[in-house]
Amino acid sequence: MVNDLHVFEALPAYALGSLDEEEARTVNAHIAGCHLCRQELDAFQMVADQLPLAVPEARPSRELSPRLMERIQSLNVGKPAQPVGWRFPGRLLPVGALAGILLIILLAFSNFLLWQRLNDPEVLTGPLGMRAITLGNTAAAPSASGFVIMGADGQNGVLVVDKLPPLEATREYQVWLVRDSSYTGGPVFAVDETGYRGVRLQAPDSLLSYSAVWVTIEPVGGSPEPTGEQVLNGSLFNP
């Protein structure tokens, strides 16, 4: 329970991350200026931080250690590494498959983009109704660029970003689909050393039903709604 004076009763749940968004915002605002509640929160946070130690201990397979070192070595020599931090909904997709899909789509569009000169450069419509939407960057990532490429029916899409700054380990980029001032959280992702990444987009509804796409910086694992700096954005409205 949250009152005007202190938020003691809400602090255990806040430490666990189980408050709803509005309650969490209220607590967040309060503890920013209340030393007493901050101290209480620290005590409950210490309890929450220890909870993982209560889980039954399990061992991964022996093959995991060499796989890790193999991946580390591939990162070391600058080879393309297996993507970290994002999964296709419900299943894992091989890196090669994603790269192949992206390559095919990008090659098809690159030819198209070369000759097509439209008045509105932000949305390009290609053969069979495919669309490529240019994302604009912000002051938080002035060198970054991005595209959303989607099928004619908007059921599938791919976000491709380039030159986004790598983030510290506790932060990730997150994709947002915006409609009527509400936000649908999309995948979180990290970029490689050049700031490049391709991410598949799937949403409960057709991508065409959303008005905009954003990319923001969020805590690892993502947020229920955008909280961090926006680095890319673009309109998904049809031209």
Partner 1 sequence: MKLDGVDDVTLVKLIADAHTDAIQELYDRYNRLVFSVALTVLGDRAVAEEATLDVFVRVWQGAKTYRPDRAKVNTWLIAITRHHAIDILRWQNSRPDVKSLSLNDVSLSNGTAVPDTEARVEISLQRARIRSAVAQLPAEQRQALVLAYFKGYTHQQIAEVLKQPLGTIKTRIRLAMQKLRETLLDEDSDASESP
Q: List contacts with partner 1 (CB under 8 A).
A: 1, 9, 12-13, 15-20, 43-44, 46-61, 64-65, 67-69, 71-73, 75-76, 81-82, 84-90, 92, 166-170, 187-188, 190, 219-222
CB 210 within 8 A of CB 188: no
Q: How many CB atoms lie within 10 A of CB 102?
A: 17
Which of residues 124 and 213 has its CB atom nearest to partner 1 in the complex?
213
CB of 103 to partner 1, least distance (A): 23
Q: How far apart are CA 120 and CA 177, in angstroms?
A: 21
CB of 21 to partner 1, least distance (A): 8
Q: Which two tokens stand for residue 126?
A: 């290609």
Q: How many CB atoms lie within 10 A of CB 210?
A: 22
CB of 114 to partner 1, least distance (A): 35
In three-state form (DSSP H/G/I as H, E/B as E, the rest C), the secondary structure along 35-56 is HHHHHHHHHHHHHHHHHHHHCC
Q: How far apart are CA 75 and CA 182, in angstroms?
A: 38
CB of 41 to partner 1, least distance (A): 11
